[in-house]
Structures are given as C-alpha cells and as structure tokens.
Structure 1
Amino acid sequence: PSSQIVTVEYAATDITATAGDDYAVNGSLLFFAPSVTEQSFEVESVVDNIYEITETLALTLLNPNSNAVLGNDEATLTIVDSTVNPALSVAVTTPPNPQVGESIVLTFTVQHSAESDGSAIGNIQVYDDWLGPITSRLQAPGEDDRLDLGEVWVYTATYTITPGASSLISSTTIVSGTDLLNGAPVNAIDSYTLSIGGFNPRLFIDKDGPSIAVAGDTIVFTYTVIQLTISIGSIEGGDGSAVSNVQVFDPNIGEATYVSGDENNNNLLDPSEIWVFTNQFVVPDVTTTIVSTGIVTGLDKEGHLVQDDDTHLTYIEMVFEDKIFLPNVVRND
C-alpha cells in the first residue's frame, strides 16, 4: 500500500456493446487514499425496452501516479438484456346459442399481450383442438407478416353444426410465433366451451306379437326400435342425432329386455341401427281382447325426453270342452 494519495485513470472500450446505446461511464479517474488498495466505478446499462443479444465491453485501468503498480489492469464486462420478451395473447369469440343445422363463425383475435416488450413477432400460426389449423385472417391493406405492437390480427373459422356433433364442445386454441430478434418461440392459449342446442331425434317403435292366444299361454312380444329420419304421412322425421338411455316397457307387462342392435356398442341408438327388445306375458283367463302398448323412451343430446308408442291387440280364445270360441269382436289391425 502507498503512503500517498494515488490516482488511476479508467476507460471503457466497445467490443460488441456500443457506448451511449448500450452503456454509459461517468467519470474517468479513481482516487485511492493512503493505504487504500481497492476502489470502484459504475458502468450504467442503457434501458431501451428493445431486446438485444448479450454484449460485451472492455474496462481498462491506466496511468497510475506516485509510482503505484496495478495488479490487474484489464477486465471484460458482459451486458445481459433483462428486457421482457414479446408476449402473445389470443381471445376466442363464439356465437350465442348455436343450433343444429346452423353455420357458425368463430373469431380468434391475436395481438401482443400487456406483458410484451413490443418487439415484432413473426411466423404466427393459430391452431384449434376442435377445428384444426385456423388460416383465414382478415388482413388489412399494407399489413406484412410480422405482428407489431398495436396491431390486432383477426382470424375466423366457419363450422356447420351437424346432428352428429356433441351437445357440449370444449376446445383450446393455441397461437404460436417467433421472436424476430432472437428466434425464441412465443405462445399463448385460450379455451372455450360451446353448448349446442336444437337436437331433434325421432324414435319409432313397432310392437309385434300373436294376434290370437289361449288363456294360460306364455306369449312373446317383440319391440323393434329405430330412429325415424324421414317423414311418413303426418309423422315428421327427426335429425338422426344419437339417442341415449333407450328403454322399452309396457304398462301392463313391464320392462322389455334388450336383445340386439347396438352395432358399435356405444349404448347410443344411432340412425342406422335397429334395436330389438322382447318380453313375455302369461295370458290371463279372460274373455276379452288384450290391448297392450309398447312405449320406448330415450334422451336426446341435450337431455330432453323423446318417446314413441305402439299398440297391439291380442284376441283371447275361449276353450269349453275341447271347443274353441272366439269372442265376437272386430279386428282393427
């Protein structure tokens, strides 16, 4: 250590950083009191909210007085950019109360988010889990393919809702891009839910069984259930959307047993399927005609009840000492 006051000059020299644009050094001379061997000076980084790569500059100590000796007279200072990277946002707008048969338009709005540093983003792509790639952009005249701060890019997608659609659609939209300064990926997501209405399936049931029976016989009724997708006379056909919770019963006989028809085993009555149910009935000792009604019920995709019914007549034969008599009735089938 020196017993005298020592002065040392210092200087900063550009390597990849630029004085004034990236950093500033105030002053150029250090003072060391007697016996003091360490001092410091400040190099201020310039904050400009523009992302830059890591840069360097050289620091040099020179021209000490009083015959002082410098232990290390050079160093390299690295400036690391602390600016927040650009950030995206995407917002999906869906139509209210979409219905089966409608063509709906979804809008995807893409822009810089509030956290963005504003540097340009390129290679913007929008993908929706439900609709797939979204490529239709409402591009204003003069726009380029870089998303700058303040710009709002609007994408649209059109979809026609078919009876095969789900009643509740949940999806996620992902927008991705590239930071044009450093090549880093930039992403954002938004999620939405669509509740589809207007499903209108039509059930049709045909009940079949013997037209004549004897008291004490066990007879079998067969119920054929389909979706009616075309109009027959005054009966309008439905839209063919799947029906769940299909059950068949007769108020006088009880619930029928499912036999066959669910081809894809999804527990949904699809428009191409024919479901068959059966139940058994012991003919009572009566002298009248048995009127039995088969009723089929189910739920559409919105949980609304759908149903149909069909009535069957069975005439009871009366047996007296090996003689059979039919009741005097008029058949209507």
Structure 2
Amino acid sequence: MMAVPIMSIAAPTPLTVNLGNASSFAVLAGSGISNTGSTTINGDVITNTGGNIGLSPGSAVTGFPPGIVSNGAIHAADALASGAQDALTTAYNDAFGRPVDVDLTGQDLGGLTLTPGVYSFSTSAQLTGTLTLDGLGETDPVFIFKVGATLITASGSDINLINGARYCRTFWQIGSSATLGTTSHFVGHIFALTSITANTGATVQGQLLARNGAVTLDSNTITNGFCGALRVTKVFSASTTPSPVVIRINGQSPKTFNAVNGWTQTWENLPTGNYTITEDNLGLGWTNQILPTTTIPVLDGATATAAITNTYTPSSNGGGSGGDESVQVYPPLINVVKTPEPLALTSGQGSVTYTYKVTNPGTVALSAVSVADDKVSPVNYVSGDVNNDNLLQANETWIYTSKTNLGATTTNTATAIGNANGMSATDIAIVTVVVSGTPTVPPLINVVKTPEPLALTSGQGSVTYTYKVTNPGTAALSEVSVSDDMVSPVNYVSGDVNNDNLLQANETWIYTSKMNLSATTMNTATVKGSANGMTATDVAFATVIVTVTNTVTGGQLPKTSTPLYEVLIIGAVLTLVGDICWRNRKRYE
C-alpha cells in the first residue's frame, strides 16, 4: 500500500482573505460568460444570496437559460458587478502577497494531505486524483494556494475536506487561467487573472472569479453558500451515562448525541447569527450546563464551539415517607464483520488475508477492545480510533487484519470483545475459504441486533429489537431467515430493493420483534442465508437491563455496603458471561 504524503506546517494558520463585495457572486468574469447545458448556480438557500453571476466591463452573458441561477441574479456591466471586480482585485493582490509556507512546485496535488497554510507553485499546478485538506480541528483553518501560471484539474479529480476544513476558507490565486476537468469536484474560491473553464459535469463548492478574461461553463453545479459552523461536545461528570439525547439549535435540524463522553457533532453551512442551544430532557436526576453560554455567535466561515456538561445526582428520599435510589446502567454492544481475500483459492494452496471491521452499535463507548481468531494469529489493529482515546465510539469503525496460508477448505471463527459499565459485549464471525479446483464462492452474512430501549428504568416494560442483516460477501443469498431464542415472531420489514428474495451485497434487510421484559435479559439472534450449495450463519447477542426500584415505607432506606448499581452491574456481568459461554457455538452449516 502506498503511503499518502501528509504536509503539516508549524507556522500559525494564515488569516482569511476578505472577499468584500465579491462574496455574493458565484461566477464573476471580465470579458464574457458563456454556458452550455444544464448548469445550476446556487447560493445560500436561507438568506437567498451568494448565487449572483457578474460581468464587468464586458456585457455578454449567454446560456442562461438553459442554465439556472438560484438565490441570485445576473449582473452584466452594472455597478454591482463593477464593485465586485474591484473587490476581486483586492482579494487577488492580498493572496498574491502572502508569505509562502511550503513550495509545491513540480508536485501533483493528487494524493497529498495538506494542513492549513500558504502553498505555492512557481509555474503551473496540477491535480490528479484526490487532494485532502485537513483542518486539524481548528476553529478557522485557512488554505491559500498561489499558482504562478495555470491550474489544471484532471477528469474525476476531487478535493476532500476533513476535520473542519471549509470551502469558504480555501483560496486559489491563479496567475493565468484555471481549467476544471470533466466530472471533477473542486472546492474553494478561484481568483484567476485571465480565464476559467469548467468542463462538462464539473462541480464547484465555492466561486469562479476571473479578473480579465471569460468564464466558460458546461453542465456544471456551482454552490456559493455561507459556511459558518457550530461544534457541540458532550461531557459527562458522572460514573454513568444517560440514553441518547437530542440537541437543538434554532433554525436547524436537531442532532441526536450518543451517550459518549467527548461525543462531538457539528452544524455546518450556517449563516451568520446567534444560535441558542437547547437539550431535550435527560430524565430524573440529570442536569446540564452549556458553556460558554446558551447563545453562541457564529461568524461566516468560522467554527464556533460549545460544550454541554451533564451531571447526575441520584435521587433519594429519607424521613418518614420512604424513598428510592437508582443509577441507570446501559449494557455494551459490539459487532464484527470478517471478510477473507480471496474467498476461494482455485489453484491449491495460497495466502489469504482476513479483514475484521469492528463497530459499536450501542450507546456507550467500549474499552479493552480485542479481536482474536481461532486459526490465525496474530490479529493486528490497523486503524479507526479517530481520537486516539482507546475507546471504540459509536461513530468509529476499527479495522484489524490477519494473514495465513491455506492448503485446504477452512472455516474459522473471529471473536470481538469490548467492555463498558462493568460488562463485556461479545460478537463472533465465521467465514469459510474454499480451496478447490472448482471456483466456488462461499456465502457470508452479518446481523446487527439492537434493542430499544437498552434499559428499563422502572421495572417491567416493552422492548423492540431491530435486526439489520447484510451480505459482506460477493454471492447473493437466498433463503434468508432470522430467529431469536426468546422472541417470536421476528418479522421482515424492508430492504429487498428489487424484490427478488435475494440478499445482495448492497442491501440491508431490516427485521423487528417485540416482547415484554420484567428482568435483565440476554437473548441471541441467529441469521442464515444460502448460496452455491452452502449456508452462512451469524449470531448477535443483546442484553436489556431491567432496574427494579425498591421502595421502603415507614422509614429510611436500609443501608448496604454495596450500592444498588454495582449489584446490577455484577449480576449483569455474570449473566452475560455465562450465557455467552453457553451459546458460543456459531458455525457454518
């Protein structure tokens, strides 16, 4: 595997380039603007600005229609276009005058990962493949590219933004002309001294601004909206965590935050303004504090930050009326998908690489995650711990691999384990590699089982189980079935897109079941599917904790040496471990 070059700059992040009166124009040219085909120019849908087309001193704008201008208007040889050209000249000179951090002359931008800074090419620049811009989580990361002559992007090339990098803080100062390849995806504001050409199907998130020459379009999509952002982080100052909770900001869709300490989500593409953060009720005993304040100002292009700290205070009542005390504990869940490469060896003995994708379908982060294989050792961790905290979060996928030589058809079992709240979650995955002169591809199947809710806090209640069944292999599966050792029936809901009764590799079939629980319960789902005369099997375990609240009347609660929540955890661990050991018999049939 080829390593991806990463260039990190120690210098401070540069200041942004002020667009001034040019900010409301998605396209701006000096001599002419022409379009062919179904080009769409978009601005900000909330403020209905940013989608203008401007031309000055020229006046010939052609191809609109069929081109469409949304959230803006066409300004040809008018005062607004002239003022935008003046602002473009100022922005161009500003970018041109920035001191250079890294000289990339002679390098292709494709395959690079760049951090905030000023980059230069003494002559021309080329992008083939994918350029990744890494904002490093900064609140206002800025990227400036200074190109002495031309910028040319290849067909199908792409610019990928990660970790807070934003199109509205990415600037391209071009000493001559820019050409965007067919079906390429470009990000940022182009300031070209001469002309800009966007070939068929190219998309742009940003602006195409040409000082002296023309802008030529062909069935493009250009979007120039606002891009303020608000990043909210959850913090828990308690030994337990609540169920997932909804957080809202005014004028935007709400987001659901999993109960994971440090869980972060970001609202993006926000217009400038003040945003009020609210959190839905977490339940009895939970309080929150929003810092620095409940109302956060968001500026265009910048990322504002806030943190919500949740504190839990167990309820207790004393005196003559009695009372109760409970701390809710949520059980962990884990899933592993195992795939061999190749699935079949048709020429006898050969090497096989196994890949294990481990995810957390639950709500609590998992520690001490491990993967073992009964016939391959070692199994090595590769990647996935995004924030390097050794906790498998619900939004992460950890990758492991192992390698072995096979001389005969072999079935082996992987076991993934993770811990949380004093309990262990286990999942197993079985695959077969066929070693034969006949090219027979064995089937693979996977099921992820999640209960809702994961815990019943007031004794007996109803629980709905959802089963997501997928096919990580290459052979379509027939006779797919799902059963549960403690719930019946398990009903198919959706997922067979083409209604052919075959589970394809690109489909997810959903099943559900429902039951009433009055005690902490672990149950096991089994899924099967067939292909090429073989049957693949997978199982999934899930535990629902039922908290029974005891009330003592006529006096205080009895004092015990062990808190109730610790008793619950210990009992759940014993139940879970014993049941897993008894059921650990997943196999190919």
TM-score by length of 2: 0.21
More helix by share: 2
More strand by share: 1
TM-score by length of 1: 0.35
The one of the two structures with greater contact order (alpha-carbon pairs below 8 A, sep at least 6) is: 1
> Larger Cα Rg: Structure 1 or Structure 2?
1
